[in-house]
Amino acid sequence: MNTAPHRAGARPAGSTPGGRTLRTDRWWLPPLLTALGLATFVVYATVRSFMREGYWDAENHYLTPFYSPCLSDSCVAGSSHFGTPIGELPGFIPLAFLSLPFLLGFRLTCYYYRKAYYRSFWFAPPACAVTEPHDRYTGETRLPLILQNAHRYFFYAAFVITLINTYDAILAFDGERGLGFGLGNVILLVNVVLLWGYTLSCHSCRHVTGGRLKHFSRNPVRYRIWTWVSRMNVRHMQFAWVTLASLVITDLYVWLVSTGTIPDLRFVN
Ligand code: FES
């Protein structure tokens, strides 16, 4: 994916001066849909992260990923799978304040999302053969965009958080009535599988598994893992979108079940 610096204001082939273009197709539709999709998720996730209700279903032990890990005395009883080493938190701090900044950083610095929001929000450029409105663009070689290079560190943090989400999903099979599973378990499980797909298909994961090697033949295990990760990497954009949807669906389901709005559909116990 090309996120390399380019010269802004340069007029691409097919465009005309003044930010116009000779393109007659609906080139504006993909960036518009991208902007709407990302904005919808950001608004939903922000509202839910600050709500402090409907995040833990005590009967079925469902915990929404937006509140995991819940480490504060402010968390409702049972939702803290790793204890409460942190005291009460004021209402303006999300209960998952430890994981949310890293998850936000992971997505913001993601190679795919960079392309997506550079195009849809900054119009840099909005589409092929369409002049971008900026006079200058210094690329990712200086502040603030040089911070995008921190992506690999966000990857390490996201890996740990996905492990925690997986642990939450496994614990949910042991609810108040003992072992069993319902639709909520299926949703939590599918969500973590997709989150693993997004996390492991990351470009930084490719580098971690196969980077800096001079001879793959001398590192057959890393080569095999790198090959597997590379195959997933081709689908990274799809994982990026589908995990936004799965996170919202998972959170919404836990919210509705935990507030008694809908019953959990139980399959076993
Ligand atoms: Fe998208 Fe790393 S490149 S998460």
Q: What pLDDT was estimated at residue 13? A: 64
110 lines ligand 1 (CB under 6 A): yes
- pLDDT tens by residue, 197-206: 999 999 999 9
E strand or H helix that includes residue 175: strand 174-175
**Residue type at 230 in one-letter notation:** S
> Which pLDDT band holds residue 124 (cuts at 50, 70, 90)?
confident
The model's pTM: 0.91
E strand or H helix that includes residue 256: helix 236-258
Q: Cα torsion for 118, 122, 125, 130, to the nearest 10°?
A: 150
Q: Whose CA is nearest to atom 2 of ligand 1?
A: 202
Question: Is residue 138 in some structural domain?
Answer: no
Question: Is residue 243 in some structural domain?
Answer: yes
- pLDDT tens by residue, 40-85: 999 999 999 999 999 999 999 999 999 999 999 999 999 999 999 9
Q: How far is the CA of 204 from the centre of ligand 1 (A)?
A: 7
112 lines ligand 1 (CB under 6 A): yes
Q: What gap in Å lies between CA 36 and CA 38, rounded to an integer?
A: 6
Question: Is residue 254 in some structural domain?
Answer: yes
Question: Is residue 19 in some structural domain?
Answer: no
Ligand 1 pocket, mutate which of 102, 110, 140, 234 (most atoms under 8 A from CB): 110
Q: What gap in Å lies between CA 259 and CA 253, rounded to an integer?
A: 10
Q: What pLDDT was estimated at residue 5? A: 44
Extract long-range pairs of 18-21: CB within 8 Å, 24+ residues apart.
Answer: 18/131, 19/130, 19/131, 19/132, 19/133, 20/131, 21/127, 21/129, 21/130, 21/131
Q: Which atom of ligand 1 is nearest to the CA of 111?
A: 3
Instruction: Give the range of the structural domain holding residue 230, as residue numbers without chain letter.
Output: 51-132+143-263
The residue to which tokens 């069993």 are assigned: 180
What are the φ and ψ backbone dihedral angles of 141, each rounded to 5 degrees?
Answer: -105, -5
Question: Is residue 187 in some structural domain?
Answer: yes
- How many structural domains are present in the chain? 1
38 lines ligand 1 (CB under 6 A): no
Nearest CA to 107 among 235, 199, 200, 31? 199
Q: What gap in Å lies between CA 100 and CA 82, rounded to an integer?
A: 16
SS3 assignment, position 142? coil
Under 8 Å between Cβ of 200 and 232: yes
Pair of tokens at residue 241? 């979108």
Question: Is residue 234 in some structural domain?
Answer: yes
111 lines ligand 1 (CB under 6 A): yes
Q: Are strands 178-179 and 174-175 parallel, antiparallel or unpaired?
A: antiparallel
Q: What gap in Å lies between CA 118 and CA 26, rounded to an integer?
A: 19
